[in-house]
Amino acid sequence: MNKWVKQQLAALVAEKAVRQGRFKLANGNTSDYYIDTDLVALTPGGADLIGQALDSTLLPYEELSAIGGPLPGAGPIVCSVLHGHLPVVDRAFLIRRGLKKHGHKTRIDGPLRKGDRVAIVEGVTTSGRSALWAAKFVQEHYKCKVLTIVTLVDRLSGAAELLKKEGYKFESILTIDDLDFHMLPKPIPPPKPGAQRSQELKRVSKVG
């Protein structure tokens, strides 16, 4: 991957996508930061950088026929690849957790075909269970061969170990160590209940 692209993407994700506070993650754990890659992927500049980074990562897979991943996180990432400078595939798919309740009532959106050679992509990977579920789903239901699993940001929380154990190749564009967001201003905590009223009373007493 181009070093400049990686540096620019890391800076953009750190600035635009990272929120600090207390958050509940998809795996049920809590964290003092949250990464919303949609805030980068759904902008022209961000989509362009993601497309370039993923294009170069997926280019070696000559037999690759489609890319996709689990909703909601994979949607913007998949679109970034399709509109990249060197689009490595011309088909993509998204996987729903539940059946679509209208139309063709499927769990796959997009032209996925049986026997496709695919790459599973994600915005942020924590435990790796979401990516693992997506990989197993297309293997079991569409007889696909999963060539690799690629995430935009790896939180370094066990995903690599789990996916390797399950026999999958796992790659990340960035890891949490690439994001120097700890230097960003921390959020100001909300005032404690009654604190604002106490401050107002102090000001009134001073004036009196």
The arrangement of secondary structure in 3-207, i.e. its CATH architecture, is 3-Layer(aba) Sandwich (3.40)
What's the mean pLDDT when you consider all of the chain? 83
pLDDT digits (tens, 9 = 90+) for 39-97: 999 998 999 999 999 999 999 999 999 999 998 888 899 988 877 665 678 899 999 87
pLDDT of residue 81: 82
pLDDT of residue 198: 52
pLDDT of residue 194: 55
Return left, alpha or beta for 4; rule: phi > 0 is left, psi -120 to 50 is alpha, else beta.
alpha
Confidence band, pLDDT 50/70/90 cuts, at residue 189: very low
The top-scoring range by mean pLDDT among 27-41, 62-76, 145-159 is 145-159
Q: From CA 53, how far away is CA 171, in angstroms rounded?
A: 12
Return left, alpha or beta for 167; rule: phi > 0 is left, psi -120 to 50 is alpha, else beta.
left
Residue type, 178: D
Q: Is it the case that residue 185 has pLDDT exceeding 60?
A: no
- The 10 Å Cβ neighbour count of residue 12 is 17
Residue type, 25: L
pLDDT of residue 187: 40
Give the start-to-end residue ranges of the domains of the chain.
3-207
Q: Alpha carbon of 17 to those of 34, 37, 60, 114, 184: distances in Å?
A: 8, 5, 29, 35, 12
Q: From CA 6, how far away is CA 53, in angstroms rounded?
A: 7
Whole-model pTM: value is: 0.81
Q: Is it the case that residue 21 has pLDDT exceeding 90?
A: no
Residue type, 24: K
Q: Is it the case that residue 168 has pLDDT exceeding 90?
A: yes
Rg (CA), the chain: 21
Confidence band, pLDDT 50/70/90 cuts, at residue 186: very low
Where is pLDDT greater, at 107 or 22? Answer: 107
Residue type, 82: L
pLDDT of residue 193: 54
